[in-house]
Structure 1
């Protein structure tokens, strides 16, 4: 059970990525908004698609599955993924390996902060973001298990399946976000101590 009392500033910005930004990534975005809000965890949740058309409504089946499970689906409009969205996000969570590769290619300097949702959920118990980045080699980066299959053009049951995959992974994310500040700020305790030493300056991320 996550509680807001464990949450700490600064607020983290999380971007979900899929293909059309009308099925999978909106589910991730709205589930995170709902769960984080209930837990009192400050977070900015957004989404975009590598092949999206701007301004499209959420898919009716995705909307229905969200509403039926207690999440808000109103007012959604799709967005085409652009590099500034990736550079402004603290963490990018993709629905498949294909999306992960596209996002990393689009913003190479941010590649370390780009994961599949399944990948990050499996690693988030490692601690702060640097530890998660270091631990990503524990998983096969080419495994089909890292993908959440696109339900577009499929029956409503496939959207239920996507929701059933996404929600527990986002719950794990919210638990991570609610942990003490080092995890949410993306710095380990050692890095935070180093950053406060005289004469030490932060460096930008690079490949």
Structure 2
């Protein structure tokens, strides 16, 4: 299963999410199980400009956890990318709107990041996500979204830390790490 993280410039939030998820898949105890079913993460941005490296503060946040994202170059979202992804997690409603304007067929697999985190939390509270492997469990979480949303807290957008101080980057990075951990633990 391919998870695509989408933010605006593909230099901060989506980069953090991609590399944290990849690292967790590869290094955590559940990594073998997740990797065995082909779980992978990538990222893109809604802005269409030439490839650029990740924000230096993003690299600093990731490096604190031993994650090297220095080779990252921003990728603009295109219909081919959203079509190839199995699950798309955006950080703002506007990013969802822009993505769906390009590819309306991606609606069923596109979520606000914190909304999907809330869905996974609720399914775990309800006894776990049905499925034989992480891929099946992620699909089940996606399918359960419509029924669960009326019972979930309103999902917040994730602040864009671009051009903001270190404290904002630290807060956003911590939010993304918690969310990735929640999702991966729910499907392990």
Matched with 1:188 is: none
SS of residue in 2 equivalent to 1:77: coil
SS of residue in 1 equivalent to 2:88: strand
Q: How does 1:187-202 map to 2 (within 5 A)?
A: none
2:145 corresponds, among 135, 140, 154, to 135
Deviations 1:9-52 (A, max 9, x none): xxx11100000000110000000000111122222211000014
Matched, 1:23 2:12: yes
Unaligned runs of 5+ in 1: 1-11, 179-207
Q: 1:117 to 1:35 in 2, by over 3 A?
A: same
**C-alpha contact 1:17 1:93 (8 A) present in aligned 2:** yes
Matched, 1:109 2:105: yes
* TM-score, length-scaled by structure 2: 0.80
SS of residue in 1 equivalent to 2:94: helix
Number of equivalences: 165
Matched with 1:96 is: 92
How many angstroms apart in 2 are the aligned matches of 1:102 and 1:113? 14
* TM-score, length-scaled by structure 1: 0.73
Unaligned runs of 5+ in 2: 124-128, 130-136
**C-alpha contact 1:123 1:136 (8 A) present in aligned 2:** no
Q: CA deviation at 1:169?
A: 0.5
Matched, 1:13 2:20: no
Deviations 1:94-122 (A, max 9, x none): 01111122222222112110001111111
Q: CA deviation at 1:133?
A: 3.2
Q: CA deviation at 1:134?
A: 3.6
Q: CA deviation at 1:69?
A: 2.2
Q: 1:106 to 1:144 in 2, by over 3 A?
A: farther
Q: CA deviation at 1:144?
A: 7.2
Q: 1:131 to 1:74 in 2, by over 3 A?
A: closer
